[in-house]
């Protein structure tokens, strides 16, 4: 049965041809593959249908046990059609992001000195700007694909600013919920100004992002990015809860990961594609790329919580365990060390739980299996974005998926 699960997963991630034929991909029972549209194209099964089927199609199987076998490393490298070397995605993206943080601070029109300091605190130019980079690269890739336009609309660049503002507001709120004391190598807003004022600062950043979004004037785009805010809230609620049923835990974890991290990237990519191209097929490509890269980004972040040091991360490691969270490495590890299930259910609250759980993870292949899963998501992201016409920006997005996997902070 585990082999059957694994064959289906490989088929799902390998593309329409593999999912419709080949060993283990035929008429066997299991989650449905792609749906055919009226013109013969195939579309990817919606993400939450995938999550649902991962835990419901085979109710008697542990939801992640099929990963536990020797798996070769997967590389999602893909050469450009021209065979040229990839362009540095950050160097390429920053051409459109000059003055990013100055422009964001202009959106935060605040007269109160203290509130201004709090709201601008993380817009200091020291962040990775990962989300804005993806957004502007996707905008140009979609524009070139549509009509070979080498220009980017001002409204598309605005989406990059809005995405960074929504992300930063979520960080301020998360730090309050988690009672975090450090982020990006410095004290958090709540640590300096207190929880109540930090909540208000996060709210203000969100309101400024909403005003900027309204100015774009496209109701479809407004609806797309409003979904992100709803997902962030729902994702936080998912993180506050846990599943007693071991079979449901991994689906719960992936759904939380999508809502808290990947939804913003996926929907921001979709928003700029809507502004630059009328083809819904392109909108879906942009969304799927952002979704898969976003999930992979968080999976690697969860790995780094066990493998990186505090100085590299800019925040304490093992933070998730201390918050009572069972991330990918933990969920994989408990397949080898079932005694971890009790710790998961009590959210690592007893003395010694955090240290013991960390040791179990490091003794297991949980880190490797989570990394492998991230590779599979990046592979799917590359498969999606490769459907667009070749361009430096498209190739930079392919390279960005490699950077996600290789990062150490």
When mean pLDDT is compared across 79-83, 210-214, 394-398, the lowest value belongs to: 79-83
**Host H or E run for residue 182:** strand 182-183
Residues 6 or more apart whose CB falls under 8 angstroms from that of 237 comprise none
* Model confidence band, residue 245 (pLDDT cutoffs 50, 70, 90): confident
Q: Which element (helix H / strand E) includes 294?
A: helix 280-307
**Alpha carbons 104 and 202: distance in angstroms, whole number:** 14
184 Cβ partners below 8 Å, 6+ apart?
122, 126, 127, 314, 315
Distances (CA, A) of 385 to 14, 62, 80, 213, 358: 14, 32, 12, 26, 36
Residue 12 has pLDDT above 50, yes or no: no
- pLDDT at position 9: 44
Phi, psi of 404 (to 5 degrees): -55, -45
**How far apart are alpha carbons 339 and 342 in whole angstroms?**
6
pLDDT of 172 > 90? The answer is yes
Q: Which two tokens stand for residue 56?
A: 């419901």
Q: What is the pTM of this model?
A: 0.80
pLDDT in tens, 308-350: 875 555 555 688 999 999 999 999 999 999 999 999 999 999 9
Q: Would you state the structure tokens that stand for residue 191, as one six-digit string?
A: 């640590």
Do 108 and 119 touch, CB atoms closer than 8 A? yes
> Per residue in 112-152, pLDDT tens?
889 999 999 999 988 789 999 999 999 999 999 999 998 99
- Cα–Cα distance between 295 and 297 in angstroms, integer? 5
For residue 193, what pLDDT band results from cuts at 50, 70 and 90?
A: very high
39-43, 106-110, 179-183, 290-294: range with highest mean pLDDT? 290-294
Sign of CA dihedral 198, 202, 205, 207: negative
Q: Which of 164-173, 187-196, 234-243, 399-408 has the lowest mean pLDDT?
A: 234-243
| Tens-place pLDDT, residues 247-300 | 789 999 999 999 999 999 999 999 999 999 999 999 999 999 999 999 999 999
Other C-beta atoms closer than 10 Å to the C-beta of 14 total 16
The DSSP H or E segment spanning 166 is helix 154-178
pLDDT of residue 47: 36
Q: What angle do CA 21, 405, 259 make, to 5 degrees?
A: 80
Q: Token pair for residue 349?
A: 């609250």
Query: pLDDT grade, residue 240 (50/70/90)?
Result: confident
Confidence band of 101 (pLDDT split at 50, 70, 90):
very high
Are 58 and 28 within 8 A, CB to CB?
no
Residue with tokens 């990186």: 308
């Amino acid at each position: 049965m585990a082999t059957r699960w694994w064959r289906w997963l490989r088929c799902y991630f390998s593309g329409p041809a593999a999912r419709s034929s080949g060993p283990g991909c035929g008429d066997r029972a299991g989650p449905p593959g792609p749906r055919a549209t009226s013109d013969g194209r195939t579309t990817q099964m919606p993400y939450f249908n995938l999550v649902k089927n991962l835990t419901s199609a085979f109710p008697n199987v542990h939801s992640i046990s099929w990963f536990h076998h020797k798996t070769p490393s997967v590389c999602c490298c893909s050469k450009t059609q021209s065979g040229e070397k990839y362009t540095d995605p950050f160097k390429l993206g920053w051409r459109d992001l000059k003055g990013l943080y100055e422009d964001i601070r202009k959106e935060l029109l605040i007269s109160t000195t203290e509130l201004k300091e709090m709201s601008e605190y993380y817009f200091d130019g020291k962040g990775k700007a990962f989300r804005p980079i993806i957004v502007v690269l996707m905008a140009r890739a979609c524009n070139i694909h549509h009509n070979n336009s080498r220009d980017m609309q001002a409204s598309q660049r605005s989406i990059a600013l809005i995405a960074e503002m929504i992300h930063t507001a979520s960080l301020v709120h998360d730090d309050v919920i988690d009672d975090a004391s450090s982020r990006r190598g410095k004290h958090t807003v709540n640590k300096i100004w207190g929880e109540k004022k930090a909540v208000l600062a996060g709210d203000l950043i969100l309101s400024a992002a909403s005003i900027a979004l309204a100015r774009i004037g496209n109701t479809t785009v407004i609806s797309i990015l409003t979904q992100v805010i709803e997902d962030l809230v729902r994702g936080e609620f998912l993180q506050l809860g846990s599943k007693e049923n071991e079979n449901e835990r991994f689906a719960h974890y992936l759904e939380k990961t999508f809502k808290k991290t990947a939804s913003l990237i996926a929907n921001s990519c979709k928003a700029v594609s809507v502004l630059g191209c009328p083809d819904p097929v392109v909108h879906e490509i942009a969304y799927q790329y952002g979704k898969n890269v976003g999930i992979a980004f968080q999976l690697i972040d969860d790995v780094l919580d066990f493998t990186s040091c505090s100085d590299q991360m800019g925040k304490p490691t093992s933070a998730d365990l201390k918050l009572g969270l069972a991330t990918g490495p933990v969920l994989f590890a408990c397949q080898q060390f079932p005694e971890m299930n009790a710790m998961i259910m009590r959210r690592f609250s007893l003395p010694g739980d955090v240290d013991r759980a960390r040791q179990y993870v490091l003794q297991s292949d949980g880190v490797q299996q989570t990394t492998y899963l991230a590779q599979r998501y990046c592979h799917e992201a590359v498969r999606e974005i490769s459907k667009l016409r070749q361009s430096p920006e498209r190739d930079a997005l392919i390279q960005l998926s490699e950077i996600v996997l290789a990062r150490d902070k």
